[in-house]
Amino acid sequence: MLKKLIRNEKGLTLIELLAVIVILGIIAAIAIPSIGGLIENSRKDAHIANAQQMVNAARLAYTADSTVTEYTLQYLEEKKYLEPVKKPGGGEYDKEESKVVLDNGVWKVTLVSDNTKHIDNEDPGKVKRDDVTL
């Protein structure tokens, strides 16, 4: 008898379809802001990682010539201390404005692109996501 009932069902009712659509809408409303936050956090983390790479490259350059205490991104890339650095989300950093400075024994980084200072004269080892501007 159960097989006869299952065979006679022709499809879903309108109420069942509406219930599924409402559930999918709720899931989407929860998921979309979460995904946006993940993307933003990953971009900020990438800026911090780029800043740390710049400091490591500047340390290498400093060991070669300890009289220089300021290194632009352009200098680090031209002298092959650093591979070309790409900005997260596409584009490039300003090669002259983005720089690493040795200030009283502390390496500080400024990352600039499109007139936005993503990291402004900060020690990349202490930079938090909240300190990074997108």
49-107 pLDDT, tens per residue?
A: 999 999 999 999 999 999 999 999 999 999 999 999 999 988 899 999 999 999 999 99
CA angle 91/93/94 to nearest 5° reads 125
Who has greater pLDDT, 7 or 114?
Answer: 114
- Report the candidate in 56, 116, 107 with the shortest Cα–Cα distance to residue 83: 56
Counting residues of the chain whose pLDDT is more than 90, the rounded percentage is 79
102: enclosing H helix or E strand: strand 99-103
* Helix runs in the chain, H state only: 2-8, 14-64, 73-78
CA distances from 31 to 24, 42, 44 (A): 10, 17, 20
Is the per-residue pLDDT at 116 higher than 60?
yes
Confidence of residue 5 (pLDDT cuts 50, 70, 90): low
